[in-house]
């Protein structure tokens, strides 16, 4: 039974930390908004679907950046300030602590995308209408879950590599591209498609687009429900992998004592 006290406590702590020093605003808000801006300016005729694409793309970029940076560095942050051993000595598995944070980080990404949306409205007077708001928000919630899981995975993965900051830089854009949120992937070379298919948010983005009323550009059109089902399945796989990674990390840490060092 996961410790819900720990997950919510950790979520709250992350929120407090964020409010105390909201430095993530810059990568997670300024960059996505710039993306939206540039996309909108590239297209001379802004029909409703282009606008939606641009805004959705900016929003997803915000969520992805935030999960990648904030969650990815989560454990390294504890290593740096020396709190990792205080965490490890408690009976709560590290994965649950980081889960609380990853959910917060994905949520902040979501709030950022909302801001992008509002900014786009104000600057371009896009007057976006969602075809089906309810379906849209359901898809958004599931993407949130999926991104939290990816954040959790990255948190554990980055502990094993000293190259985490380089990886963050390298991964940010390509993964955003394969998510299909930036350019429809049927415009991408077909060898890249399998990458997209294994990246959960790709299905989420497709579901969002359908719910928003933009026609699906997926090479495998499975419809809204199909998208969400696949997203669920992929998220479950991520979660299992993450769980294994954390187990391995815990064992390795207790073997080598390397987690306390920075």
Partner 1 sequence: MGDRVIVAEDLVKCYPRTNGKSGEKKTSKPAVDGVSFEIRKGQIFGLLGPNGAGKTTTIKMLGTLLIPTSGGATVLDHDIVKDYMEIRKRINIISGGDRGLYYRISGRQNLRFFSDLYRIPRRLRDVRIEELLQKVGLEKAADQRVEEYSRGMKQRLHIARGLVNDPDILFLDEPTIGLDPEISREVRGMVRDMSKDGKTLLLTTHNMNEAEELCDDINIIVGGKIVAKGTIAELKEAVRKKSVIEAEVRRMTPDVIEAVHSIDGVLNVACSSDAYRSILRIQVADGQDMVLPIAKRLENCRIIRVSREEPTLEDAYMSMVIGDA
Ligand X SMILES: Nc1ncnc2c1ncn2[C@@H]1O[C@H](COP(=O)(O)OP(=O)(O)OP(=O)(O)O)[C@@H](O)[C@H]1O
Closer residue to ligand X (CB): 221 or 260: 260
Residue 186 CB coordination number (10 Å): 12
The 3-state DSSP class for residue 125 equals coil
CB 98 within 8 A of CB 14: no
- How far apart are alpha carbons 136 and 118 in whole angstroms? 16
Calculated CA dihedral for residues 166, 169, 174, 180, nearest 10 degrees: 140
Closer residue to partner 1 (CB): 45 or 255: 255
**1-16 b/e (C-beta count within 10 Å ≥ 16 → b):** eebeebbeebbeebee
Give the interface size with ligand X as a residue count (CB under 6 A): 3
Residue of this chain nearest to ligand X (CB atom): 257
Residue 257 near ligand X by CB under 6 A = yes
From the list 5-13, 168-176, 207-215, 227-235, the region that binds partner 1 by CB under 8 A is 5-13
Residue 80 tokens, joined: 């740096």
Q: Which of 25, 48, 88, 128 binds partner 1 (CB under 8 A)?
A: 88
Q: How far is the CB of 75 from ligand X (least distance, A)?
A: 16
Q: Percent helix, strand, coil in the chain (nearest 5)?
A: 80, 0, 20
Closer residue to ligand X (CB): 129 or 254: 254
Q: How far is the CB of 90 from ligand X (least distance, A)?
A: 20
CB 72 within 8 A of CB 159: no
From the list 27-35, 94-102, 225-233, 253-261, the region that binds ligand X by CB under 6 A is 253-261
Q: Which of 44, 45, 127, 255 binds partner 1 (CB under 8 A)?
A: 255
Binding letters toward partner 1, positions 25-64, x by CB under 8 A: ----------------------------------------
Closer residue to ligand X (CB): 211 or 259: 259
Residue 251 near ligand X by CB under 6 A = no
Residue 261 near ligand X by CB under 6 A = yes
The 3-state DSSP class for residue 23 equals coil
Place of tokens 């995308």: 113
Residue 191 tokens, joined: 């060898």
Residues 6+ apart with CB under 8 A from 225: none
Q: Residues interacting with ligand X, by CB under 6 A?
A: 257-258, 261
Q: Residues interacting with partner 1, by CB under 8 A?
A: 3, 5-6, 8-10, 12-13, 16-17, 20-21, 81-83, 85-92, 97, 253-257, 260
């Amino acid at each position: 039974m996961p410790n819900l006290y720990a997950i919510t406590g950790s979520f709250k702590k992350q929120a407090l930390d964020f409010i105390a020093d909201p430095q993530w605003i810059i990568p997670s808000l300024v960059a996505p908004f710039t993306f939206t801006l540039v996309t909108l300016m590239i297209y001379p005729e802004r029909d409703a679907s282009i606008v939606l694409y641009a805004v959705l793309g900016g929003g997803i970029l915000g969520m992805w950046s935030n999960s990648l940076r904030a969650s990815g560095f989560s454990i390294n942050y504890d290593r740096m300030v020396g709190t990792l051993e205080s965490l490890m000595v408690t009976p709560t598995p590290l994965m649950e602590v980081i889960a609380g944070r990853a959910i917060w980080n994905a949520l902040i990404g979501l709030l950022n995308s909302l801001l992008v949306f509002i900014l786009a409205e104000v600057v371009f007077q896009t007057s976006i209408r969602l075809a089906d708001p309810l379906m849209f928000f359901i898809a958004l919630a599931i993407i949130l879950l999926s991104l939290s899981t990816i954040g959790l995975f990255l948190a554990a993965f980055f502990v094993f590599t000293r190259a985490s900051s380089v990886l963050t830089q390298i991964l940010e854009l390509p993964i955003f591209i394969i998510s299909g949120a930036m350019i429809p992937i049927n415009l991408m070379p077909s060898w890249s498609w399998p990458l997209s298919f294994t990246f959960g948010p790709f299905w989420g983005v497709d579901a969002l687009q359908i719910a928003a009323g933009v026609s699906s550009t997926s090479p495998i059109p499975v419809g809204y429900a199909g998208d969400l089902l696949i997203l669920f399945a992929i998220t479950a796989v991520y979660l299992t992998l993450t769980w294994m990674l954390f187990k391995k990390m815990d064992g390795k840490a207790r073997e080598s004592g390397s987690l306390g060092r920075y």
